[in-house]
Every structure is written in C-alpha cells, then in structure tokens.
Amino acid sequence: MRMRAATILPATHDRGRRRRRELALVRRRLAGVCVLTAMVAAMAPPAVETTPARAARIEDRRIEAAVDGLFAPWQRPGSPGCSVGVSRGGATVLERGYGQASLELGVPITPQSVFHVASVTKQFTAMSILVLARDGRLSLDDDVRRHLPEWKGPPGVTIRHLLTHTGGLRDAFLLIELAAPDTSRPVQDQLLGLLAGQRGLSEAPGRRYFYNNGGYLLLAAPPERHAAIRTELERLDAQFAPFRFTQAGVRARRRDETWAPRA
C-alpha cells in the first residue's frame, strides 16, 4: 500500500501545480482585458445626447430662427417693435427685443423693457376701487356723480355699473375722434371731460353687458383723487415680488407727468 501511494502522490502534485499556473495565467489575461477596457473607455468621446433632449434642442433653435425671421422687418434703426417671449412646457425658449422703444431717443427694445399694458390695467383699477370700498371711502352702489362732480349725464349710473361694463356709456374713443383736436390737455383728461359731459347714454344702466373703456376711464378718477389709494398702489410693488414681477409696478398718474423710455 505504501508503494502504491508513493507512486500516485507525485502525479497528483504535478497536476495541482499545472492547475495553479493555468489559473494564474487566466487572472493575468483578465487583468489585461480590464486595463485595456478602461483605456478604451477613457479615450472614447462623450456620450451622445439622448434622443428627446437633442430633439428639444433642435426644436428650440428652429423656434428662435422662425421668430427672428418673423420680426426681422422691425429689427432696424428707426422702427418701432416689441419684446417677445416664447416658452414651452414651462421653460423659456426665447426672450428677445426687436425695434425701438423710443424713436426720438433711439432706445432699443430689450427683454427688460417696461411697457404700458393698456387694458390689462383694468383689473388693477378695479382692485383700487375695491380697496376704497373696503375702507369705507365709497360704496359700489354710489352714483358716479358723488365722486365725479363734473358728471352731467343722467342719474342712476353706479360704480358697480362701471366695474361690470353695464353702465350704458357711449364709446369714449369714438367721442374723442368726433371732438375738435385739443393739444392743451392730456388725452386722459380729454376723455374724462367728454364722458362726464355727455347728457345721454347709449342705453339704460344695468340693461346689458357691453365692454366699455369709458367706464374704466371714469373709475380711474376716484383713486387718483384719494391720497390713501395712491399709497396702497405703491405698496403693490412689494407684493409683486413673490410673482417675480421685478420690473412691473402700478403708479398713479400725475397731472403734470411726462414719461419716455430710457436706455
């Protein structure tokens, strides 16, 4: 038995050494492959944008080119223009100004330009009236003559009628077109005088809704005549902050005020 064991053991030992050498060789080869793979990865170009992101970027550039082309006729000296913003999915795609904010002063329009927003101010006029009503300085059911002594029209037109476009007033801008030109007064004062001086209405107050600029021209007068409401309007600037209206504001017009855009 001992002779048989002596014959078998050296053969088993040789096979084990060969096996260990083979495993070591495999490990070295695997290590080489890993190093080569790492080198290739390091030398490879950056990953290409995902298809949706690349498509969105291409679409943004297409929109920019289209908008620039649309407003190209105004993008020149001596031309009026506008400020344009385009958003998609809550993200801003483009903010750009085209043309001049002031032809006289040569001020260009930029994304930061401030504009008079015309009838958008009606909601702020209505709010100022409601502030006066809240503070007891007027009632929504007051006759307009109580706050506009110059009113010569028929009785029965109330603050509420003016707020809700149901006052039956004549069209203010048609009236000023029919009137003789007057360059001695601001247009706002002319319109107020023409409306207050009308001795008749287009129809009875409260009869129906009919959008009317003149009603809000009349509504603007009581707030302008109340120092308290002017203070309240000034406070609105701070209230705009949470909405990021950093370049918007409300201001009461002074009789002697002139305004022009600046660079």
188-213: buried (b, 16+ CB within 10 Å) or exposed (e) per residue? eebbbebbbebeebeeebeeeeeebb
Does residue 119 carry a catalytic annotation? yes
- Residues 6 or more apart in contact with residue 261 via CB below 8 angstroms: 101, 102, 105, 107, 113, 114
Tracing tokens 């009603």 back to the chain, one arrives at 215
Catalytic: which of 119, 128, 184, 202? 119
Single out the residue of 63, 127, 71, 76 nearest to residue 103, CA to CA. Answer: 76
Q: Is 181 left (phi over 0), alpha (psi -120 to 50) or beta?
A: beta
Bridge partners of 94, per DSSP, are 86
CB 158 within 8 A of CB 142: yes
- SS3 for 69-119 is HHHHHHCCCCCECEEEEEEECCEEEEEEEECEEECCCCEECCCCCCCCCHH
- CA 110 from chain centre, in angstroms, equals 14
As annotated, the active-site residues are: 119
